[in-house]
């Protein structure tokens, strides 16, 4: 394999591993605040128990996000030196503001939030929780501004081959930013909703009937039932925005080879890039036209308009279907779960098992969605400004390959350890709740 492909796989592996954890911490920070505020308001111990359990998951996820994020900050330079050389004047300030307004905030107050319980007054601890949640969201804001600008760049001019900012307002509020940001924040909400519900269902199935388990389960279901439909709406709006600014991506998502009207919605197909057609199509007539143009006979741009300049079709096409399929399943679980809670006050056992199966469904949908949008931008790294190939560096393929293997081994091991630890924590949930101090054994002198 050549260096470019290896560099892309390496960066993709790292960024895919990384995004799993911010997807959890962004929303989980606010959920922890909710638990804390419920406890402050009601004095009910179950909210404190919920906080104590989930703050551990948060701490673990946060550490995973930090270490893989540091790797990413280096890989910008090692894998894509051309990126900063060409658009550094835009990307630089955005990244700098992320470090300055988000990273230090969350890292410092995380220490107080995790370990400051007995050392600071309650309001300071609540304040630290607010700042950590705010920091994770700020971090998402800046990085999504930059990512969206790479998709729909504006507010700059090229001088001697280098981008110079002319209008920072236009750069920050570029056309795809509001859609991508809200879609990602809601993705985080749903990922956490199913993590909360799935782990709680698993604890319930193992006979753990602590009030906190049911309270968290209910929180997760409500988040899913409310967030799921909103996400479908946001996703649709994001798709229409993409149709306007990156039609080639939408053509690949729909597997639409020719510009035409009355385009069917493909439920399944195998796109054949060589023959420029699909095999084994299963389609709903007029579906794609209806969704994209809100008219049965509406014309949808096809890949023929972008020959030689469009993304690889198959990964975008399948990624989109995996994302939407998982999303629909999540919506169904949220609504059915909420219905049961509302009508019967409890969930049937089979539903509990279903939720266990859905525990990490948010990861699947989020990753699939990111593959759609990022592969869908190819061959560009910054649309119309810089191709991915132009940004690659001089590092030989052998070095990239060796380190890629090293990263992959570490990531697989850590992911297994992460999931294993969460289930172990869940299995010990009741013991841990009854025995504060189990984090560090044998405290001789408690302050």
List the interface residues with another protein, window 407-426 (CB under 8 A). Answer: 407, 410, 414, 417, 421, 424-425
Residues 305-334: x where in contact with another protein by CB under 8 A, - otherwise, as a string: ------------------------------
Contact 241, 304 (CB under 8 A): no
Write down the least CB distance from residue 332 to another protein, Å.
33
Q: Binders of another protein among 383-402, rule CB under 8 A?
A: 393-395, 399, 402
Determine the interface stretch with another protein among 71-79, 174-182, 285-293, 314-322 (rule: CB under 8 A).
71-79
d(CA 213, CA 202): 10
**What residues does 260 pair with on adjacent strands?**
300
Write down the least CB distance from residue 443 to another protein, Å.
3
- Maximum Cα–Cα distance across the chain: 75
- Please report whether residue 77 would count as binding another protein according to CB under 8 A: yes
- Count of Cβ atoms closer than 10 Å to residue 237 Cβ: 14
Write down the least CB distance from residue 8 to another protein, Å.
16
Q: Which of 30, 47, 103, 320 binds another protein (CB under 8 A)?
A: 103
Write down the least CB distance from residue 156 to another protein, Å.
10
- Count of Cβ atoms closer than 10 Å to residue 307 Cβ: 9
Contact 328, 391 (CB under 8 A): no
- Please report whether residue 12 would count as binding another protein according to CB under 8 A: no
Give whichever of 84 and 230 is closer to another protein, judged by the CB atom. 84
- Please report whether residue 9 would count as binding another protein according to CB under 8 A: no
Contact 68, 21 (CB under 8 A): yes
Write down the least CB distance from residue 192 to another protein, Å.
18
The token duo for 345 is 């006050």
Task: Render 220-236 in DSSP notation, one character per residue.
Answer: HHHHHHHHHHHHHHHHH
- Please report whether residue 74 would count as binding another protein according to CB under 8 A: yes
137 Cβ neighbours under 8 A, 6+ residues apart: 26, 29, 30, 185
20-48 as b/e: b if 16+ CB within 10 A: bbbbbbbbbbbbbbbbbebbeeeeeebbb
Give whichever of 49 and 374 is closer to another protein, judged by the CB atom. 49
Write down the least CB distance from residue 162 to another protein, Å.
8
Write down the least CB distance from residue 227 to another protein, Å.
27
DSSP one-letter code for 263: P
Q: Which of 122, 261, 348, 436 binds another protein (CB under 8 A)?
A: 436
Give whichever of 95 and 237 is closer to another protein, judged by the CB atom. 95
Write down the least CB distance from residue 386 to another protein, Å.
13
Q: Binders of another protein among 31-70, rule CB under 8 A?
A: 52, 55-56, 59-60, 62-64, 66-70
- Please report whether residue 97 would count as binding another protein according to CB under 8 A: yes
- Please report whether residue 109 would count as binding another protein according to CB under 8 A: yes
Q: Which of 9, 44, 93, 232 binds another protein (CB under 8 A)?
A: 93
Write down the least CB distance from residue 362 to another protein, Å.
21
* CA distances for 258 relative to 145, 290, 299, 306, 386, angstroms: 32, 17, 10, 10, 27
The token duo for 131 is 């700042």
Give whichever of 36 and 249 is closer to another protein, judged by the CB atom. 36
Give whichever of 162 and 328 is closer to another protein, judged by the CB atom. 162
Give whichever of 309 and 421 is closer to another protein, judged by the CB atom. 421
Task: Tell me whether strands 265-272 and 162-165 are parallel, antiparallel or unpaired.
Answer: unpaired
- Count of Cβ atoms closer than 10 Å to residue 350 Cβ: 8
Contact 386, 82 (CB under 8 A): yes
- Strand, coil or helix: 273: coil
Write down the least CB distance from residue 175 to another protein, Å.
22
Q: Which of 37, 116, 155, 401 binds another protein (CB under 8 A)?
A: 116
**CA triple 180-226-288, angle to 5 deg:** 55
Give whichever of 131 and 269 is closer to another protein, judged by the CB atom. 131
Residues 141-180: x where in contact with another protein by CB under 8 A, - otherwise, as a string: ---------------------x-xx--x------------
Task: Render 74-137 in DSSP notation, one character per residue.
Answer: HHHHHH-HHHHHHHHHHHHHHHHHHIIIIIHHHHHHHHHHHH-TTTS-HHHHHHHHHHHHHHHH
């Amino acid at each position: 394999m050549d260096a470019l492909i290896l560099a892309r796989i390496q960066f993709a592996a790292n960024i895919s591993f990384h995004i799993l954890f911010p997807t959890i911490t962004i929303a989980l920070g606010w959920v922890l605040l909710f638990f804390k505020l419920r406890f402050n308001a009601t004095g009910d111990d179950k909210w404190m128990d919920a906080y104590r359990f989930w703050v551990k998951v948060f701490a673990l996820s946060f550490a995973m996000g930090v270490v893989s994020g540091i790797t990413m900050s280096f890989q910008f330079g090692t894998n894509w030196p051309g990126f900063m050389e060409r658009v550094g004047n835009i990307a630089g300030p955005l990244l700098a503001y992320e470090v300055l307004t988000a990273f230090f905030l969350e890292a410092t107050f995380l220490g107080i939030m995790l370990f400051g319980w007995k050392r600071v007054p309650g309001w300071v601890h609540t304040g630290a929780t607010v700042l950590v949640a705010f920091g994770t969201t700020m971090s998402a804001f800046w990085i999504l501004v930059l990512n969206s600008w790479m998709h729909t760049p504006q507010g700059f001019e090229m001088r001697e081959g280098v981008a110079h900012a002319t209008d920072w307002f236009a750069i920050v509020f570029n056309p795809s930013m509001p859609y991508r940001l809200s879609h990602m924040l809601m993705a985080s909400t749903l990922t956490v909703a199913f993590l909360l519900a799935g782990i709680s269902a698993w604890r319930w199935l193992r006979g753990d009937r602590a009030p906190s388990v049911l309270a968290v389960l209910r929180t997760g279901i409500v988040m899913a039932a409310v967030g799921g439909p909103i996400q479908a709406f946001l996703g649709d709006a994001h798709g229409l925005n993409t149709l306007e600014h990156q039609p080639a991506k939408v053509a690949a998502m729909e597997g639409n080879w020719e510009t035409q009207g009355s385009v069917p919605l493909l439920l399944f197909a195998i796109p054949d890039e060589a023959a420029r057609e699909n095999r084994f199509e299963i389609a709903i007539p007029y579906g794609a036209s209806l969704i994209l143009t809100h008219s049965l006979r509406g014309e949808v741009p096809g890949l023929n308009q972008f020959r030689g300049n469009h993304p690889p079709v198959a990964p975008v096409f399948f990624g989109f279907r995996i994302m939407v399929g998982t999303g629909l399943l999540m919506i169904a679980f949220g609504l059915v779960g909420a219905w049961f809670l509302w009508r019967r006050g409890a969930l049937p056992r089979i539903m509990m098992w279903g939720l266990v199966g859905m525990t990490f469904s948010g990861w699947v949908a989020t990753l699939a969605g990111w593959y759609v949008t990022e592969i869908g931008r190819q061959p560009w790294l910054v649309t119309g400004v810089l191709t991915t190939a132009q940004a690659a560096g001089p590092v030989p393929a052998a070095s990239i390959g060796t380190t890629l293997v090293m990263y992959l081994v570490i990531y697989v091991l850590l992911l297994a350890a992460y999931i294993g630890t969460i289930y172990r924590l869940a299995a010990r949930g009741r013991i841990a709740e009854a025995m504060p101090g189990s984090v560090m054994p044998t405290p001789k002198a408690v302050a």
